[in-house]
Amino acid sequence: METSAPDAPRLDAAMRRNLLLLTVCQAIGQSANVIMLSVTALSVVTFFPHREFATLPTTMQHLGVMLGVFPAAALMMRRGRGFGFRTGSLAGMAGAALCAWGLVTAAFLLMCAGGLVLGYAVANTQMYRFAAVELAPPNYRAKVIAWVTTGGVVAGTLGPAIARLTYDAIVPLYLGAYLSMAAIHAVVFLLMGLIRFPPPTRAQDNAVGAQRPLAEIASQPRYAAAVIAGMASWATMMFLMTSSPLAIVGCGLPDTEPPWVIFLHAMGMYVPSFFTGHLITRFGVVRVMAAGAAIMLAGVLVALAGLDAWHFRISLLLNGVGWNFLFIGATTLVTTCYRPAERGRAQALNDFLIFGVTAMSSFLAGVLQERIGWIALNWASLALVLVAFAAVAWLAAQRPRLRPA
């Protein structure tokens, strides 16, 4: 449980410096992902006739995350967080370059390959939140996860801004956006060298008892419920966010509207991080996660109410806020379910499951958007919101006043 007791460990200057740098890396690195989500479907339809597959490169990115989390976690356990994260930045540069070359040559499969390689970079970016926990005392668990997640506020501003400024700066359209993604990953590579992470042997040295089988870790009710809630929140968010650019343009709104909607969505995802950690400390993780599921439901209901610009904006904004509460709450719970030496496998399994569902949601989003339309897509997403509610209810039944350990 987080505490403010006088004898509780405090953050020192070195910890704050490392957390600040990690937050900056989150802000810059995540902006590349926002660009990818903003422009990929629209760039694909400039040369590829099958619009229902326009989100496939983004889907391949999520597949790359799913396939990359275990190798990335294993590399970090052996060589340390810094080495692993810089390797992820190199993958980001390579993946962005492949997407750019695929666009230039009108090679759809090459863009899909670029998305797959970018997935390894995103897998590393998603692990920043776990690395934050290792840079601070245990009583700051929920707060540092939220602090690092606030980097998404900058990403949500910077990503769409770069997309708007670069999508027509170089021929063909959207090439400048992909080149800017490569530059962003290069900057993160340099900044990661300034962060002082704990040495890779620290977790093993501090381990209590033998490592348990992964199945035993995953079968803990708290771990299972947290992962299910995380999967549902990511799937719902990706289901609607990925398809929204196609839906917006398909409704006759201008091409400049999708980046604006994605900006509001990203603000909803990350601005609450300034206070989500405090809300978890004050009200408990289950109540915050329940509020997140309710807000996601409200976002779907707004989307079902109409098809003008403000329906899209408000719907995606609420979708982002609900995701924030569910995601930070679920991540906080997961970090209480493993021993130090088990962290790599337990964290990797969490992200493997989350991004497996996310990859499927991303692919289905484009197909269903073209086949059944935006309104029907939102009706289908209600099932995912109900899964999130069920996971939170399971947590509440286990321990009504559950808080981070």
pLDDT, tens digit (0-9, with 9 covering 90-100), for 17-51: 999 999 999 999 989 988 998 888 889 999 998 88
Residue 262 lies in a domain: yes
Residue 28 lies in a domain: yes
Is residue 87 very low, low, confident or very high in pLDDT (cuts 50, 70, 90)? very high
Long-range contacts of 367-374 (CB under 8 A, 24+ apart): 367/52, 367/53, 368/243, 369/52, 369/243, 369/246, 369/247, 369/250, 370/51, 370/52, 370/246, 371/52, 373/247, 374/243, 374/244, 374/247, 374/250, 374/251, 374/303, 374/307
pLDDT in tens, 352-389: 898 888 778 877 877 777 778 888 888 988 999 999 99
Residue 132 lies in a domain: yes
Distance CA 277, CA 136 (A): 14
317 Cβ neighbours under 8 A, 6+ residues apart: 264, 265, 267, 268, 299
Residue 207 lies in a domain: no
- Give the CATH number of the domain where residue 240 resides: 1.20.1250.20
Tokens for 344? 């790599």
Question: What integer best gives the mean pLDDT of the chain?
Answer: 86
Distance CA 76, CA 67 (A): 15
- What are the CA-CA distances from residue 325 to residues 149, 251, 268, 303, 337 (Å)? 11, 30, 10, 20, 19
Which domain does 26 fall in, by range? 13-201+214-398
Residue 3 lies in a domain: no
Where residue 106 falls (left for φ over 0; alpha for ψ -120 to 50; beta otherwise) is left
pLDDT in tens, 304-322: 998 888 899 999 999 999 9
Residue 298 lies in a domain: yes
Total structural domains in the chain? 1
Residue 8 lies in a domain: no
Residue 358 lies in a domain: yes
pTM of the model: 0.76
Distance CA 367, CA 150 (A): 32
For residue 207, pLDDT beyond 50: no
